[in-house]
Each structure stands twice: as C-alpha cells, then as structure tokens.
Structure 1
Amino acid sequence: MKQSISAELLKLRHSRIGLVLTVLPSISLMIGCANFYLNQGVLENGWYSLWNQVCIFYGEFFLPILIAICCSYVCRLEHLNRNWNMILTSPVSVASVFLAKLIVVSILILFTQAFFLGLYWLAGTLFSLPGHFPVETIGWSVRGWYATLSISALQLAISLRIRSFATPIGISLCAVFIGLGMYTANLGIFFPYSLLTIGMSVLNQNQLTDIQNILFWVANLSFIIIFASVSIRRLKNKDIVLS
C-alpha cells in the first residue's frame, strides 16, 4: 500500500494540480466575500454570515468540481497508452491501486479544506468582523472533508470507467444540482453530494442532533464502502481497456 501511495504522489510531481487546489478555493471565496460585502446591511451575523456566503459557492459548486478534477487527474496516466494493462498485470493488488488513489485524493482535498479555512479567517479579519473566530468552522471543515471521501470514491469509480478527462467533471456538476434538490427535499442523507452540504453546514448552521450526526457518519462510510467495493470488483473482473 505504501508503495502504491508513493507511486501516486510521484505522478503529481511537476504537475499543476497544486495551482488548481489554490485557485478554485480563492475564486469561490472572493465571490462569496463580494456578495457578503454588498449585502452587509442584511447579513448581520458576522462570521457566520460570511461562512454562509463563501460556502455557498465553495461547498456547493467549486469543491465537488475540484474533487472530480483530482479524480480524473489521478486516473489520467493509466488511461494513456493502455497503461492499465501494465498495472492490472503487476504484482500490486487492484485494491491497493484504488485505495492509493482514494487516499491521495483525500490528502489533496484535506489540504484544500485547510487552505480555504485559512482564507476564510483572513477574509473575516480584513472585514474586521466582531467577535472571535468561530471554532465551529473547524469542525464543519473536518466534517465536510469526511463527506468528500464518499464523493471521491464515486468520482474515482466514474473516472476509472470513462477515459475522458472532462466527462466525469460534467457528471459531478450535474450531481451538484441533484444534491441541492435532495437536500431541499430533506433526503440529503441518501446522496453523497447532499452530505457535503450537510457536513459543511452550508445552508443551515444549526447543530446536528445526535441521531443526525450518527446518520451522517454512517451514510458516508456506507457510500465509501459501496463505491470502493464496486470499483475494485470491476477492476478485478473486467479489463478496463476493453470496456
């Protein structure tokens, strides 16, 4: 497993994925800050109002797209020149290949979450918002990162299936709108993209009840296991190059 993770990290060297990981959160935060600045007369809840505005763009749109980009990128090399044939015949297990990709994507998204949280603190400081930095946002960021794991597992399954780099990203964008509909219908617990909305407290910053919190963690874990199991089984039983 360590060798598989090291190999995945090695592929990212000299790539521009780090630029994407910083630019997209920065753009989303600037859009949210502009909206907050123009509506300060209505948005009177300080740090929490700012969180709501920046997370609407980041958590609902930019972060899912960023996950899809990362997943497509870590599968890109394997789709070139029939490299899957070499990987699937190597002594490394298929499970290690998939899990290594999932772990690397999770590390990239964790960095993005930390970077975004830092930008949020900086923006609130520049706005001279009253009160202390809300420590709840750290928990929301961690919870949001956990929700991204199920989305990452799903997007990896799609990227392994589809050679195109852009198509999985388009699918992710469509899933975002489905997720919004599921969340509005109070069915967010049944859809990974809606779980991200719940995890980061994007639209509702009320504290989750004990039951809601348990359901959130269990649902995400279930999605991760299901998507990972399906992908690993497919890689074992079907030549991805001929699909």
Structure 2
Amino acid sequence: MLRRCISAEWMKLHHSHIWIILMILPILSVLIGSANFYMNQGVLTKEWYSLWSQVGLFYGEFFFPILIAICCAYMWRLEHHNKNWNMIMTAPVSTTSIFLSKLIVVGVLMIFVQIFFFILYFLGAKLVGITSELPGELLGWLLRGCISALTISALQLTLSMRIRSFAAPIGIGLCAVFIGLGMYVIHLGLFFPHSLLTTGMGVLSQTSLSPGEDLLFIIINLLYLIIISAGAIRRMGKSDVVA
C-alpha cells in the first residue's frame, strides 16, 4: 500500500514545475555565495571553508528551508482542491501510508537537491580558482543536512496538511528559520528543527561535531521525526477533514 502511495505521489510531480524551483534556489545560493567569496578573497582565505561559509549561509540558512516548505505545501496542493480530501479519506488507504509516502518523496527530493548543491559548490570553487582538496567535513555536512531536512519536512508537511493556504505554511517556515537562527546564537542549536539544519551543515561555523554531538544530533532528529509524524498521522485519523 505504501509503495502504491509513493508511486501516486511521483505521478503527481511528473508534470509539475516543482523541478524548476528545486534547481533555481541552489543555483542562486551558489552564484551569490561564490560572487561574494570572489570579491572578498583578501579576507576569506580558507578556500573551501570560506566558500562554504558564503554559499552555505544563503543555502542552508534560508533557501533550503524555504525550498522544503514549498515542496511540502505542493505535496498537499491537490488534496486541498475540489474536495479531494473526501475522496482520499474514504479510499482504502491508511493515513499512515498517505503521510509517509509524502514524507519519503520529499526526502528523496531533498537528497537530489543536496547532490545538485554539492555539484554546484564544486563547480563554483573551480570557477573562483580553488585548487586544493575538498574538506573532509563536507560529506558530514551534506548527510546531516539530509537528516535535518527530513525533520523539517515532517513539520512542514504537518502544517501544510492542516492549513489549506499554500503560502501560509511557507510563511511559518520562514519565521521558523529566524527562530532557529536565534536558537543557534544562544547555543541551543541542537534543540529546534531549523537550527539543527544550521548546526548540522556547518552553515555559520565550519567546525566538526564531536562524536557525542553527532549522536545527539541523530537522536534529536529521530525524536522530532517520530513525534511529529505520529502526531500528524493521528490527527488525520481522528479529526474531521474540512474539504
């Protein structure tokens, strides 16, 4: 049943324009960050790390969370039109399969975005003249970015499920970005979904996480993911749908 739901979600995305957004925002992040790095090489002297600090600031702190919010809102767009909620909730499909299929598809899309971003980051580095080896922390930044992106996806899917407006959950997601930034500044970056992304991807500090911090990072993301997803699935099963 879950496999069929996932196939249905992919079919809905096949002819959509979401792919354009998935590509444009990472491109903008790397273009802006690389240009800023190129014009300030006298100050930004740590090559790959300095470039990551520039592209990561735009991508990991702003564009990536907004991209997640847009994708999640789009995943519920069809359900919120033409009373499709009534059809879905009366179909022989469990609420668990409905929610998890959307979460899995968004997760796969975010992995694609991360890979695409890495390619752009690498090409941007070569264009600005960086010739040294890639930083050893890069893989960890990208993987932790995928993990925290899944947590944020669960949160944004829940918001988009309950709010019929396409723009409102995205606006809430943008507000959460600034809350996450504040949590990071006061050294509580491991305790809020959006600040987990900032911490995990080394957006503002390119230092590596210790093994203990890595374990805590994974545990907290897993807890958020389970709690948010379970709450959303339960809400779908217990609440009346406003179509």
Match of 1:142 in 2: 143
Match of 1:19 in 2: 20
The Cα of 1:134 is off from its aligned counterpart by 2.3
Deviation at 1:148, TM superposition (A): 0.5
What CA distance in whole angstroms lies between the structure 1 residues aligned with 2:128 and 2:76? 41
Provide the residue aligned with 1:65 in structure 2. 66
Distance 1:212 1:74 in 2: 33
Distance 1:71 1:40 in 2: 38
Q: CA deviation at 1:28?
A: 1.2
Name the counterpart of 1:79: 80
Letter in 2 for 1:204: S
Identify the residue that residue 106 of structure 1 maps to in structure 2: 107
Over the residues paired in the alignment, what is the CA RMSD in angstroms?
0.9
Give the letter aligned to residue 185 of structure 1: I
Whether the 8 Å CA contact 1:36–1:50 is kept in 2: the answer is yes
2:34/2:128 contact within 8 Å kept: no
Deviation readout 1:162-212 (Å, 9 max, x if unpaired): 000011111111100000000000111110000001111111111111221
Q: Residues of 2 paired with 1:123 and 1:135: CA distance?
A: 18
Report which of the two has the higher share of helix: 1
TM-score (norm 1): 0.98
- Aligned: 1:55 with 2:53: no
- Structure 1 residue 135: Cα displacement: 4.1
Deviation at 1:139? 2.2
Q: Which residue of structure 1 aligns with residue 236 of structure 2?
A: 235
Residues 119-148 of structure 1 show CA distances to partners (whole Å, capped at 9, x for unaligned) of: 000011111213112242122111111111
Residue segments in structure 1 that go unaligned for 5+ positions in a row = none
- Report the counterpart of residue 190 of structure 2 in structure 1: 189
Distance 1:171 1:207 in 2: 30
Q: Is the 8 A contact 1:117 1:138 kept in 2?
A: no
Matched residues in 1 for 2:241 and 2:33: separation? 41
Percent of paired sites with the same residue: 57
Higher mean Cα deviation, 207-216 or 102-111?
Answer: 207-216
TM-score by length of 2: 0.98
3-state secondary structure, aligned to 2:78 = helix
1:91 aligns with 2:92: yes
- Name the aligned partner's letter for residue 167 of structure 2: A
Q: Which amino acid aligns with 1:170?
A: G
AA aligned to 2:47 is G
CA–CA distance in structure 2, aligned partners of residues 239 and 115 of structure 1: 40
> The residue matched to 1:171 in structure 2 has which SS?
helix
| Equivalent residue number for residue 173 of structure 1 | 174
- Partner-residue secondary structure (3-state), 1:12: helix
Contact preservation (8 Å) 1:179, 1:191? yes
Provide, for residues 79-131 of structure 1, a one-character-per-residue CA deviation record: whole Å limited to 9, x for no partner.
Answer: 00111111111111000000000000001111000000000000111112131
C-alpha contact (below 8 Å) 2:137/2:208 kept by paired residues: no
Give 1:39 shift.
Answer: 1.1
Q: Secondary structure at the match of 1:69?
A: helix
Paired residues of 1:32 and 1:53 also in contact (CA < 8 A): yes
